[in-house]
């Protein structure tokens, strides 16, 4: 993909749904080095597929790139496309992880979806591609487990 084909640096409409969203990848400037790139989306929103009510999550995506990086503006637009998309927490979290893994073919990728309670039950969903490469520093996601008011 050339720079002129990227969404970065030009107007881009919010995709109608996640399947129509375009995720851009760019060359990794350090393909010879194992390092972790983290994206945090503390205000992720989707819709309950049954009630249509909004669901909210804090997403943390960590990956060890190989040849490609995900371009952050396209990731932002992709994640925002879930705002009008009805899917269960598990589906949203795992689908995002699989889409990124399929696009990037990273050495490692993990996603944590920390969903806010609905009906009194918080649901946290975790997915990864396999074991992280030896010797990388993989920090704690930094999201505390849900504790209610206690």
Write out the catalytic residue numbers. Answer: 48, 55
Cβ atoms of 99 and 74 closer than 8 Å: no
The first and second tokens of residue 145, run together, are 């487990």
With 0-12 / 13-18 / 19 or more C-beta atoms within 10 angstroms meaning exposed / middle / buried, residue 26 is middle
The HSE-up count of residue 64 (CA atoms within 13 Å, CB side) is 18
């Amino acid at each position: 993909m050339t720079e002129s084909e990227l969404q970065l640096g030009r107007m881009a409409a919010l995709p109608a749904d996640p399947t129509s969203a375009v995720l851009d990848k760019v060359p990794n400037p350090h393909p010879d080095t194992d390092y972790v790139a983290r994206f945090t989306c503390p205000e992720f929103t989707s819709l309950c597929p049954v009630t249509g009510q909004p669901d909210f999550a804090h997403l943390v995506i960590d990956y060890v790139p190989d040849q490609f990086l995900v371009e952050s503006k396209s990731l932002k637009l992709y994640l925002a496309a879930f705002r009008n998309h009805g899917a269960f927490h598990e589906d949203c979290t795992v689908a995002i992880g699989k889409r990124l893994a399929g696009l990037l073919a990273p050495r490692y990728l993990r996603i944590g979806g920390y969903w806010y309670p609905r009906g009194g039950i918080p649901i946290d969903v975790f997915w990864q591609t396999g074991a992280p490469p030896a010797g990388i520093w993989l920090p704690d996601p930094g999201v505390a487990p849900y504790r209610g008011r206690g």
